[in-house]
Every structure is written in structure tokens, then in C-alpha cells.
Amino acid sequence: MLIKTYKDRSFDESYSVIDHPCGLRIMFCQKPFRTFTASLRVRFGEMCTAYRLKGQKRVYRIPRGTAHFLEHKMFEDEDGQDLLTEFFKFGADANAYTSWDQTTYCFTGTSHFKENLSILLSMVKKTHFTDESVEKEKGIIGEELCSYLDDPVNSMYVAAKGNLYSKLAYRYDLGGSVATIRHIDKDILTRIHRTFYRPDNMVLSVCGNPDQVDLDTVYRAVTEQFGDEKRADPLPEPVYPDEPDAILRAQSTLTRAVAGKGFCLSFKGPARKDRTDLELYRQGRVLSIVNELLFSGSSRLKEELQDRGLLLGDLTSSVVVSRNLSCIQISGWSERPEQTVSFILSHIEKYKNTGFSQPDVERAVKVALSESLLAFDSVDAVAEMMGQLAFYKKDCYSLIRTYRKVTADDCRTALKRYFRTDFMTYVRLLPLRNAGRIST
């Protein structure tokens, strides 16, 4: 067993990486806490709606919502029973979630680590799909998807992405729609599981107390479930549509049964297909600092908006940076959304012209660093970081080093590149009674 250990002496942290012969990468960290956690990440998410096998030309299509649907079905055993109860028997709390590029299965507990790990690995390895169970799941997931449509903030985000993107699956809701999941059947789920749910397309992250968690136990459990040989058939390669640079619509209006008025500003940044994983990772960190400077709870913008009566509550912002897309979204509530949006845009333009001061950038970097360092006091957060950065081929401590290198010039360059009004859309959310009137 070849072990590579990463250390950061500045705050006395370390973890190990082991590439198992079956192809599974194991990220392992021991922490002196009472709880332990393990997460298994599959490199398959909702962004992938088509793929080809490496070295082959044929393209296989996937209905939108398949990754999320498969996540649901993996918790069902051969008798149709919920495998969550198996984790409960051994005192663990299990969960799963689907993102645009990954599907993650995890558990947290305080005892019986070996038994819970065995359940997790076995659950993700095996399938028990039947025509009847798949049809039943469509009804359950359909109700979940309809509940998202009732969420006014989520509706704004999805509408904004639909205004920005015309080809990529990112323009839709994460779990697909009632219409798209109708096309999912037992054969599709079986094919996708066989293609993507393979050890050399997954990462296992484990973090916990040395009294409960040891590397030999993890290694043996992986060998028992997946063997000690890598599959010979080729890995899948996602195939993404060519997304045009231009946006579809500059603005749109939604009406919902809400008491106030909402707004969502969204910027379509450039795709970075020619960038390395390291460059993409660093750009994401720079944009997170820009977001802290512009939209955080302690930002000057929020204070000025509230002083002028242009913001109810907080601003909410998010950043997505990947090889296929980059997107920044800012949302909030205001009785005068048009004035609020105008003020936000003038604030952004001001900093494009003047840049941020180095002391302000250093303050924002310190905030990001403190949040990153605090994460090392949580087994769940450590496992999350190890798993995420494994796909970037970076160690956890690179997060700290990357933040420390962010400069005021980096932030100004990112602001000019990613916050362009010609690649921006504005979605306003109005109460039903105000559908015919726009407040200015």
C-alpha cells in the first residue's frame, strides 16, 4: 500500500492519499473528535447529459434528472427497503446529494465505523432496479421537483440561468423536470450505473477519531467490495454542447404568491476550456474574495442599500467556475427592485474603475482564511474538502496557499472579466397583485 501524506506545519494538520489497485482514490484523515464520517463521491452529476467512452466516437444521451434519480434509487435494497435503516441500526446518519458535476453518498456516526463503511460501499456498488420501483420513484421525485417550483428564490435563480444559457443543462433546475424524468427507465439506470459508478471514477474520503478509524480497516473494506484490479474497459467522457457566448435574454419577470418583491442579477462569465484544474481552482478563489468584498453582510454596498431603504434583509451571492461555464448570481428583496439593481451596478462599475484597496482585499482574504481554518475542526468539512480537491488534483492546504496569494489586481481583473453588463440578465419577482405594475 503506497501512501502519500500531505502536511501543513503552520497549523499542524496532515492527511494521506492512497490509490487503491481497483482505481479508487482514498483520502484519509484522523482527528481527535468523537465523531467520524465517510463520503463516496462519484464523478457524475446533472451537467452530464451525454457521454462517449474514451477512444470511441459514439455518443450516448442521458435524460435530464438521471444523476439525481439514480442517487434516490441507490438507497433501495433488493426487497425495496430503504437502506437508511441499515445505517440507523449501527448508529449512523446517512445522506446523499447530487450537484452539477458529482453525486455524493455519506454517513456520520460515533460507533461501528467498519459496519457502516461496508454498508456504504456495498450500497453504491450494487443495483436493484425493477420497472415497478422506477415508476414508483418517478412519482416521488416528481413531487420533489414540483416543490422546487414553489420556492420563489429558486425560481428566480433558474429563470436567470435560463436567460443566460441556451445549450448547457445548467440552464435548468438541478433535478430535471417531471417531463424529462418520464424518459428514465430501468435500462438507462443500469447502463449509467455500470458506466459511471466504477472505482476509478470515484473518491472515498474518511475522517475520524484514531480509536474508531484506521487506514487498514478502510483499505480492507474497499478490497472486499471492489477487488484489487482496475476495470479494463474505458472510462466515460462527458460530452457537452457548444454553448454560445451570447445570452438569450437581458431580463424577465416572474409573478408568485409572495408578499414582497425580489431581484436576481446574474452574470455569464467566460468558459475556461483551455484552463488547467489549478487555474480554474484559483479563479474560483479570487471570485469568492470579490464576492466577499462586494456582497457580504459587512460590505459597504449592503450598508448603503439598507441606509437608502433599497434592501430588505441580506444580499445573497453565489459563484460557479468550471471548465464549461462560469456564473455569478446576486439576489435579494426590495420594495424598489429597479433602483436597487441600478445601485448595485453603479457600485460594481465604480470598483471596475478604481479597483479595491489592498487593505480591503487583505481583510477579505483573512475572512476566507479564518473560515477555511475553522473547517479543519469538523470531520464533515475535512472530508468535504478532501473529496472536492481530489478531483482538482490538489491538496487541502492549497486552499490556504491560494487565498494568501490573492491581490487587489487579481480582484479588479476578475471584476472586469466576469461582471460584464453585456453578459448580464436581471430577473424581477413580483407579487401576483403587482404583475402589471413595476416599481421604479
C-beta of residue 111 within 8 angstroms of C-beta of residue 118:
no
Q: 350 by DSSP, 3-state: which?
A: helix
Residues 21 and 43 in one domain: yes
Statement to judge: residues 115 and 261 lie in one domain: no
pLDDT over threshold 80, residue 11: no
Are 234 and 184 in a shared domain? yes
Let me know whether 323 and 398 are in one domain.
Answer: yes
Q: DSSP letters of 140-167? A: HHHHHHHHHHT-HHHHHHHHHHHHH-SS
CA dist 167 and 96 (Å) reads 28
Q: Is 141 a member of any domain?
A: yes
Choice among 54-63, 86-95, 187-196, 392-401 with the minimum mean pLDDT = 392-401
Percentage of the chain modeled with pLDDT above 90: 75
Query: In residues, how long is the chain?
Result: 440
Q: Cα–Cα distance between 119 and 123 in angstroms, integer?
A: 6
Task: Choose the final residue of a domain: 178, 205, 238.
Answer: 238
262, 256 Cβ separation under 8 angstroms: no
Asked whether residue 412 is domain-assigned, the answer is yes
Q: Do 171 and 260 share a structural domain?
A: no
Residue 302 forms part of a structural domain: yes
pLDDT in tens, 190-243: 999 999 999 999 999 999 999 889 999 999 999 999 999 999 999 999 999 999
Q: How far is CA 226 from CA 215, 219, 380, in A?
A: 16, 11, 24
What range does the domain containing 370 cover? 251-434
| pLDDT, tens digit, 9 for 90 and up, residues 87-128 | 999 999 999 999 999 999 999 999 999 999 999 999 999 888
Q: Which three cell numbers stand for residue 403?
A: 487565498
Q: Please indicate, yes or no, whether residues 171 and 281 belong to a single structural domain of this protein.
A: no
In a shared domain, residues 230 and 266: no
Are both 266 and 202 inside the same structural domain? no
What is the total count of domains within the chain? 2
* Whether 202 and 303 share a structural domain: no
pLDDT score recorded for residue 438: 44
Looking at the structure, tell me whether residues 104 and 229 fall in a common domain.
Answer: yes
244 domain-assigned:
no
What are 376's strand-pairing partners? none
Place of cell 474497459: 233
CATH number at residue 168: 3.30.830.10
